[in-house]
Structure formats: C-alpha cells, structure tokens
Amino acid sequence: MALFLCEGRGLFLHHLAPPEPDRWDLPGGGLEPAEDLITGLRRTVHAGIGLTDFTVDRLLTVAEAFYPEGQGRQVHKLDLVYTCQADPQPLTFDTFDTQTIGPMGICWIPVANLLPETCTSRAWKALQAAQQGA
C-alpha cells in the first residue's frame, strides 16, 4: 500500500469493496506469486490509480486487521504501507479497477478532513504513523 502526502493532503481512492466499503483507502494491493514487495507496490499502484512515475521512500507501518469471512472464519491481513512521493503532483488518474473504486473516485484530500470512520483501518493507521513521524 502507498501513502502519498503532499502539502497537508493525501492521495486516496474511494473504496467500495468489503470488508470496509464506502471509505477512503490507500492505493496498492496484494502480491503475485514470487513478486517482490516494491515491484508489487508499483504494479498495484499503477493498476489502481494509473500512476507509474513515483518514488518509494520507506516502509512506514504494518497495518494488521482481522475480518470475518464465511461461517465462523476470520481472515488475518497484514498490509505493508510505504511512504511514496510523486513529483510533479498528479491531478488526473486512470484506473483499471472499475469494480471497487466508488463515485468519489481518486483524489487529494486534506488530511485534517479525514476521520477514522471515513477511512479504511489501514489508511487511518498509516496517517497516524506519518503524523507521529514513524
């Protein structure tokens, strides 16, 4: 997952898919078999928001979550969140993911306007880690 921050704003996408639908989320996603972390990050950011020209700075945090799945089962999920930079700051985005991106799309949002109930848990954890200078 990628956390892009610039001048008090973060780059988020309106996420519709479970387990946390209708919330702001980070670009990025899962790995393919035998894919290294940074290659996977670059691939999923490109697929999610169309961005290819960006720098991966460092691992910011690991977001851990448990979600119900099926009858009495839980999924244990770990998301590695990296701080990333895009210069110049992109203003338009393309996505190959038309199923999970909601009507509010992909945009830069003032971080001060975000709340735990408007973000996915991983996005909120990443914002908290960035504010603490983790």
Which is nearest to 3 in space by CA: 75, 74, 81, 69?
A: 81
Q: E strands, 16-129, where?
A: 23-25, 55-69, 73-85, 101-110
Contacts of residue 67, Cβ cutoff 8 Å, sequence gap at least 6: 18, 19, 74, 75, 77
Q: How far apart are CA 96 and CA 99, in angstroms?
A: 9
Contact 13, 134 (CB under 8 A): no
What is the pLDDT, as a whole number, of residue 134?
57
pLDDT, tens digit, 9 for 90 and up, residues 62-118: 999 988 888 889 989 999 999 999 988 878 788 766 677 888 999 999 999 999 999
Under the phi-then-psi rule, with left for phi > 0, alpha for psi from -120 to 50, and beta for the rest, what region is 39?
alpha
Judging by beta carbons within 10 Å of its beta carbon (0-12, 13-18, 19+), is residue 50 exposed, middle or buried? middle
Q: 25 phi and psi, to 5 degrees?
A: -135, 170
pLDDT, tens digit, 9 for 90 and up, residues 45-57: 999 999 999 999 9
Q: How far apart are CA 102 and CA 19, in angstroms?
A: 14
What is the pLDDT, as a whole number, of residue 90?
79
Q: Which domains does the chain have, with CATH numbers?
A: 2-131 (3.90.79.10)
pLDDT, mean of residues 20-25: 95
Contacts of residue 21, Cβ cutoff 8 Å, sequence gap at least 6: 15
Q: How far apart are CA 69 and CA 49, in angstroms?
A: 27
